[in-house]
Structure 1
Amino acid sequence: MMKEVTRYIAAFLTVALLAGCGGGSCNVVPDRSFTTNINQAQHLDVFATKGWVYAQGGYAGLVVYNTGSQQDPKLIAYDRCSTVNPEKGSRVEVQGMLLVDPQSGAKWLLEDGSPAALAECPLRSYSVGQQGNVFYVQN
């Protein structure tokens, strides 16, 4: 009798664990391969301290942000696709130090892409590399 109860409990916990794995995932923005070059000639604003720019790439475009300085830029990049109902393809917009989804009202911090209001998942970030004076964003 005890072994049977233990089996039922184990089966219940396994089903509960598997069911919980799919629903709460933050990997919600569709995957798309790309490489985008970021340079001063085409994207001057991002090279200012705390500067940012919209760029091509990703699923719904990119927001590229400089966490460094004008002399020592450190660029990070996010997909503009809102993680709130990503199937709608709503593009986030920079408003001060926030990224805002105009459809849902969700907000993320520009500094690191983490949720600030309504959103549960951070914005999708991409790898940024550098070769000389050219930065490149890629998936």
Structure 2
Amino acid sequence: MMIGIRYIAALSTVALLGACGADSCNVVPNRSFTTNINQTEHLGVYATKGWAYAQGGYVGLVVYNMGTQQDPKLIAYDRCSTVNPEAGNRVEVQGMLLVDRVSGAKWLLEDGSPAELAECPLRPYSVGQQGNVFYVQN
């Protein structure tokens, strides 16, 4: 009987430790896409510390310019909240935060890391550049 309890306790510990690993935050469903980011449709993101919403990802993208207007350096995140991602709640930009109005969770716009309530960062996507056009893809 004591061996059975220890076995269950050991399995529980392994399961909990596994849940805390890097892969446990890969909670937003994967969708293949490529989205072009250009000044005509996404003017705001070309400003220093600017941002814009865009199509793509699971429930849309937020694209942020970590660089300057003259030398943009774009990063992109899925707008899907990592708190109950199966609900598909979209985060919204509020100042320098991304906010899930349903759960109250918040993330930093500059790197997508959790700021309040959320445990997992927003899902990042690769951003490339060809000439003056950027593209976000998965």
Shared fold (TM-score, shorter chain, > 0.5)? yes
Letter paired with 1:21: G
Q: CA deviation at 1:17?
A: 1.9
Aligned equivalent of 1:21: 18
Structure 1: unaligned runs, 5 residues or longer: none
Cα distance between partner residues in 2 of 1:14 and 1:117: 31
Cα distance between partner residues in 2 of 1:36 and 1:65: 14
Aligned equivalent of 1:86: 85
Q: CA deviation at 1:16?
A: 3.2
3-state secondary structure, aligned to 2:29? coil
Aligned equivalent of 2:60: 61
Cα distance between partner residues in 1 of 2:8 and 2:69: 57
3-state secondary structure, aligned to 1:130? strand
User: TM-score scaled to structure 2, two decimals?
Assistant: 0.88
Q: After TM superposition, what 4+ stretches of structure 1 lie above 4 angstroms from structure 2? A: 8-15
User: TM-score scaled to structure 1, two decimals?
Assistant: 0.88
Q: CA deviation at 1:78?
A: 0.3
Matched positions, count: 133
Indicate the percent of aligned positions where both proteins have the same amino acid.
Answer: 76
Cα distance between partner residues in 1 of 2:16 and 2:108: 30
1:62-77 superposed matches below 5 A: 62-77=61-76
Letter paired with 1:49: T
Q: Deviations over 1:30-84 (max 9, x none)?
A: 0000000001111111000000000000001000000000000000000000000
3-state secondary structure, aligned to 1:102? coil
| RMSD (CA atoms) | 2.0
1:117-136 superposed matches below 5 A: 117-136=116-135
Aligned equivalent of 2:114: 115
